[in-house]
Amino acid sequence: MIDGSGRIWGGAVGLGTVAITGAAGNIGSVVRQALRNDVTRLILLDRTPLHPCASNEEVHTVDLRDAAAVEVALSGADSVLHLGGLPDEAPLAALLEANVLGTHHVLEAARRTGIDRVVLASSNRVTGFYPTAHVTSPHEPVRPDGLYGVSKAAIEALGQMYADKFDLSVICLRIGSFEERPTELRHLATWLSPRDAVGYIRAALTAPRSTRFTTVYAVSANTRRFWELPEQSALAYTPVDNAELHAASIPEARTPADPSAPQAGPYALPDFTLKHIPR
């Protein structure tokens, strides 16, 4: 089993060789450090040049739009944590190229090289238009709050297709607000602490290969959260951190929430997307 620290108990579960795309990013950097001593080999991919920090690290400067380069870099991995891509609202063409096409290249490389577990970094913004009073399940229809959310819904669909058609084991993590600590009102519901992020990712990498496809929200155990925590049958991790412990430092924390407001907050405003649409 995996406890709130992300440590594995009740018998060792080997991580083997793990590849991380987007390894230079905020989450990638944290996970790289957390997994370094628990893997046989760590393959790190990013457009930003990286340097190995341990003898078991292997680095590749790769653009995910280059299918051949992605396949070469991922060769020999047992599992892939796919974090790479554009992380926020952008023109649709750019999101389709970086997020959707890039994810396709990762999944196709996994199929061609025999990698049987791919963990895809999706986003809570796939369902950003559900109201804050609604506790959203990953089984409900998507309601993306913008073009970025649309691109993440598309990568989930790609993951489902590769699981169904090619027998890959794919786990999608709808990542919350990854921050060292919550700093704004919305974070009291959406915060994902670094400790819990590592816990979710460890659980996803080590889940039984019989898990063919699942989607879960990766969010801390926040009192005000509006997403369902994973069922143990879907992903065996229980988050331990709670944004409420930081509420006193957020001035708006005592302001009653509008139950009909979209969960995405400002990301759901028309202008947030319109500035990325050519006129």
Region 89-106: mean pLDDT is 98
Give the rounded distance of the alpha carbon of 235 from its chain centre.
14
Predicted confidence at residue 85, as pLDDT, reads 98
Region 152-170: mean pLDDT is 98
Residues 242 and 240: their CA atoms lie apart, in Å, by 7
Residue 76 identity (one-letter amino acid):
G
Residues 117 and 104: their CA atoms lie apart, in Å, by 14
- Average pLDDT over the chain reads 94
Q: pLDDT band at residue 1, thresholds of 50, 70 and 90?
A: very low
Domain ranges of the chain: 17-274
Residue 188 in this model has a pLDDT that exceeds 50: yes
Predicted confidence at residue 10, as pLDDT, reads 30
- Which helix (H) or strand (E) element contains residue 156? helix 147-166
Active-site annotation, residues: 148
Region 48-54: mean pLDDT is 97
Region 251-275: mean pLDDT is 96
* Residue 94 structure tokens: 């750019």
Predicted confidence at residue 11, as pLDDT, reads 33
Helix (H, G, I), strand (E, B) or coil at 87: coil
CATH homologous superfamily of domain 17-274? NAD(P)-binding Rossmann-like Domain (3.40.50.720)
- Which helix (H) or strand (E) element contains residue 190? helix 187-190
Residue 208 in this model has a pLDDT that exceeds 50: yes
Residue 119 identity (one-letter amino acid):
V
Q: Provide the strand spans (E) within 124-248.
A: 169-175, 177-178, 191-192, 213-218
Lookup result for tokens 């950097």? 29
Predicted confidence at residue 6, as pLDDT, reads 39
Predicted confidence at residue 257, as pLDDT, reads 85
